[in-house]
Amino acid sequence: MSEVLLEVDHLKKYFPITGGVFQRRVGDVKAVDDVSFTINKGESFGLVGESGCGKSTIGRTILRLLEKTEGKVIFNGQDIHKLSKEQMRGMRTKMQIVFQDPFSSLNPRIKVGEAIGEALLDHGLVRRKELKARVIETLQICGLADYHYDRYPHEFSGGQRQRIGIARALIMNPEFIVADEPVSALDVSIQAQIINLLSDLQRDKQLTYLFISHDLSVVEHLCDRIGVMYLGSMVEMASKDELFRNPLHPYTKALLSAIPVPDPTLKRERIVLKGDIPSPANPPSGCKFHTRCPLASDICKQEIPEYRNVGDNHFVACHFA
């Protein structure tokens, strides 16, 4: 097995709910509740789940844009959350993020060239004279043209802005990129271009991705291994082929059955989940999924299912798997 680049170990991230006159802590939103996984060098790991299941929070906690509540994030052998501010600043060159919303992720008053190049300059990784050449080279790698250097973000389309966001992450020469739903704000035709760009970059630069998405078909195209999240917990994790061929958790089955197939004559069994996703401030007892699970029985309400390896590195948390 290849080398481990990132290890997420029993990671928890709770957001306090405060209330009352004195802003006392009255509860927690358990956005990420005890999640563990590893990502190997050069791999792309997909994280899927509904809105609000904590995918993005994991991505941001790994990069320490959010402070963890408990657990460890080990990157290249170092615990990210134990680094000092200055050490962390150095570490940031190795791990980058591409954001979901290409409109709010670029500062409207900063020209594209500066937005992409400023971090290199701030880290002292390049001399001022060479900066422009580096930025233009990166622009071109990301499918933009050199004259875009002097433009402002509002002059670009969503797809182009996302390319700018990728260029900004890429110029640091990172080993690891968190792609936080990089295509879900884009048109379908543009989505394909951006995904192809990401997969070309991965091949050329030996990048490692944590690819966060709620779109299974996108993840299927790009990822080697996939983790499925529900309400802050990992419910199933396996290699892409294994997960698509042999989904064990009823939630994964439901998600897979929701992927549209471009064949109107094909009759499929659709598993439609009833109800809404419960509140992560007050998750259901036992298996968090039991309120919506077609297979739920008494044991599901009482006992939290163990997250276990069912062979061939296929992990699942279900009493019936």
Partner 1 sequence: MSLEAAPLDMKTQVPAKQPDSPWRIAIRRFTRNRLAVIGLLILVVMVLFCVVGPWFSPYDLLEYDVKNKKNLAPNAEHWLGTDKLGRDTLLRLMLAGRISLLVGLVATAISILIGATLGALAGFYRRFADTIIMRIADVFMALPTLPILIIMGAILSDLKVEPKHRVYFLMLILGVLGWTTIARLVRGQILTLREQEFMQATEALGLRDRRKIFRHLMPNTIPIIIVTATLGVAGAIIAESALSFLGIGVVPPTPSWGNMITSANSLIDFRRRPWLWIPPGMCILITVVAINLIGDGLRDALDPKMKK
Choices 72-80, 103-111, 219-227, 265-273 (CB under 8 A): range interacting with partner 1 = 103-111
CB of 154 to partner 1, least distance (A): 8
Q: Is 63 in the site for partner 1 (CB under 8 A)?
A: yes
Amino acid at the residue 154: H
Tokens of 310: 């069912």
Among 7, 50, 101, 242, binds partner 1 (CB under 8 A): 101
- What is the C-alpha to C-alpha distance for residues 277 and 275, in angstroms, rounded to an integer? 7
CB of 155 to partner 1, least distance (A): 6
DSSP E strands in the chain: the ranges are 4-19, 24-40, 44-48, 70-75, 78-79, 95-98, 176-180, 208-213, 225-230, 233-239, 308-309, 315-316
Residues 106-165 that bind partner 1 (CB under 8 A): 106-111, 118-119, 122-123, 144-145, 147, 150-152, 154-155, 165
Q: Is 60 in the site for partner 1 (CB under 8 A)?
A: yes
Tokens of 153: 């973000």
Using the minimum distance from each CB to partner 1, give the nearer residue, 73 or 97: 97
Using the minimum distance from each CB to partner 1, give the nearer residue, 214 or 221: 214
- What is the C-alpha to C-alpha distance for residues 83 and 222, in angstroms, rounded to an integer? 31
Give yes or no for a contact between 281 and 297, defined as CB atoms under 8 angstroms apart. Answer: no
Among 68, 161, 168, 288, binds partner 1 (CB under 8 A): 168
Tell me the site size for partner 1, rule CB under 8 A.
37
CB atoms closer than 10 angstroms to residue 199: 16
Q: Is 90 in the site for partner 1 (CB under 8 A)?
A: yes
Amino acid at the residue 126: V
CB of 150 to partner 1, least distance (A): 5
Q: Is 89 in the site for partner 1 (CB under 8 A)?
A: yes
Residue of 192, 197, 199, 232 lying closest to 215 (CA atoms): 192
CB of 172 to partner 1, least distance (A): 7
Amino acid at the residue 318: C
Interface ranges with partner 1 (CB under 8 A): 60, 63, 65, 88-93, 96-97, 99-101, 104-111, 118-119, 122-123, 144-145, 147, 150-152, 154-155, 165, 168, 172
